[in-house]
Amino acid sequence: MATGLPYCGRFAPTPSGPLHFGSLVAAVASYLDAKAHDGRWLVRIEDVDKPRAVAGASDTILRQLEQHGLLWDGEIWYQSQRDAAYQQALETLRAQSLTYYCTCTRKQIKARGAHYTGYCRSRQRPAAGSAERFRNDQPSLQFHDRIQGDVQLEPVFAREDFLLYRRDQLYTYQLAVVVDDHQQGVTDIVRGADLMTASSWQLALWQQLSERRPRLAHVPLALDPDGRKLSKQNHAPALRADQVPAQLLRAFEFLGLTDIAADASPAELLQQATIAWRLKYLS
């Protein structure tokens, strides 16, 4: 686990649109946990999937964070600028015989079952349009979550040989997020519960690329009236600049933080919420 390093947390939004309430909850939770630990809080723009990035969305997201008093430490990293780091990590894994090439299409994979079956495991050489997968021989089947407790992961999913490099010549989120968290010295990852299952793949990579693992904490998801996760794909409304205190208070309430005076500036609200977070999650 992540020991011996000073606390470092992060918020890593995808720039596919402005922040909404669900993303505010994740940002607030990671920010408060960092401040409650007297640690650093980083912001990283996860635009490794370059076609999904919307022009101007990164600037909008950063402006929204500033409006809500969520001020980050250090420089901002953009995954779209870090191909060299991801290639180096891929070559490290390749040298350990932990990757293989795959020519399977999504249609072919789906025809064989719900999960990838390792069909191309014996493929030694790249072919035109091939992807590259992680040879997941030591899967992470469980982990301790600081909020959710002991988490048991679905074995079939956790054991899947997942993609590191896509057919369209893009590095995957799974590879990029582990490389970045490791190189930035991130010790604690606080994020939405929708990413809890993906933690199995990421922890499997961590144990190959690092001698440490981060502590994990997954907060509940904010849902729309139909029970769907609030997301840009589901047309969740963007945060409003004229509703900052109300939006922060709603996020605090969603996270179970109480006894916060409503009539205060964003900075003062966050100071009160940090104390409430420390009492609820650290005591």
Annotated binding site: 10-14, 46, 102, 104, 116, 120, 173, 191, 232
φ, ψ of residue 195 in degrees (nearest 5): -100, 5
d(CA 167, CA 169): 5
All residues at 6 or more sequence positions from 145 whose CB lies less than 8 Å from its CB, including other chains: 151, 196, 216, 217, 218
Give the full edge-to-edge strand order of the sheet including 142-145.
149-152, 142-145, 215-219, 188-192
Binding site residue list for ATP = 232
Residue ranges of the annotated binding site for L-glutamate are 10-14, 46, 173, 191
Q: Which residue has the tokens 């992060």?
A: 10
Which distant-in-sequence residues (6+ apart) come within 8 Å of 76 by Cβ? 42, 43, 44, 45, 62
In this structure, what token pair is assigned to residue 241? 């600049």
Q: What are the binding residues for Zn(2+)?
A: 102, 104, 116, 120
Residue 270, helix vs strand vs coil? helix
